[in-house]
Amino acid sequence: MFSLFSKSAVITGAGSGIGKAIALLFSKQGATVHIIEFNLEAANQVVSEIISNGGSALAHHCDVGDQQSMKKVFASIGPFDILVNNAGIAHIGNVEKTSAEDFEKVFRVNVQGAYNAIHFAIPLMKKNKKGVILNLASIAAIVGLQDRFAYSMSKGAIYAMTLSVARDYLSDNIRCNSISPARVHTPFVDGFIAKNYEGREIEMFDKLSKSQPIGRMGNVNEIAALALYLCSDEAGFITGNDYPIDGGFIKLNN
């Protein structure tokens, strides 16, 4: 079950964190993985790890928010089966503390980046008469989170794009779903805590972990496992849905 043998997958932002875990798992399941990443050094490290374990992978240096660069990358990749829109950045602040520059930066990477990937993926998938798109949304698209104005905006857009794409391409046998994680332990989280809570790292890690009713953060492999299922043939009857993976945050955090 959940084999991706003979399939190819494009994953944005797979140089670290959730994207890296998805790339490693998809490769393990037989897929050829194309990593689109701004940090080429990080992407090459993931590619090396995949190849050393007998897999197949290529790195593509690109700013996902640059449409012309994305057009060239997708032209070089050619037909593929799976797109995972994972690339994204965060921002802390309410609307008053969010500058126009902050807002535009988050929009450019998180929203424009996903749009660019889908825009160039759909024609290739239509030629194959099939395809799977998985977008990384967030619980921030569903519930109000304090001081996450721009980030929530961007993930709400991802949620809406997922539904729109799923509906528009039913007849082309292209499925589109999204995943909405709560807080997941990644290098970004460690860096955020170190930057904002110097000397209180252990305390804040514990506090942030317990904000999930289950009592801990998620780990990247748990997110990757859900991504694998939704991108596999076993999920062939699933489209137009968002899947919270949140340790009970949305329904149980009363």
Q: Which residues form the catalytic set?
A: 151
Tokens 């698209």, residue?
141
Neighbours of 247 (CB within 10 A): 23
Between CA 43 and CA 237 the distance in angstroms is: 32
175-196 burial, b at 16+ Cβ within 10 Å, e below that, comes to: bbbbbbbbbbbbeebeeebeee
Please say whether the beta carbons of 31 and 82 come within 8 A. yes
Helices (H) and strands (E) in the chain, counts: 10, 9
Tokens 């490290």, residue?
45
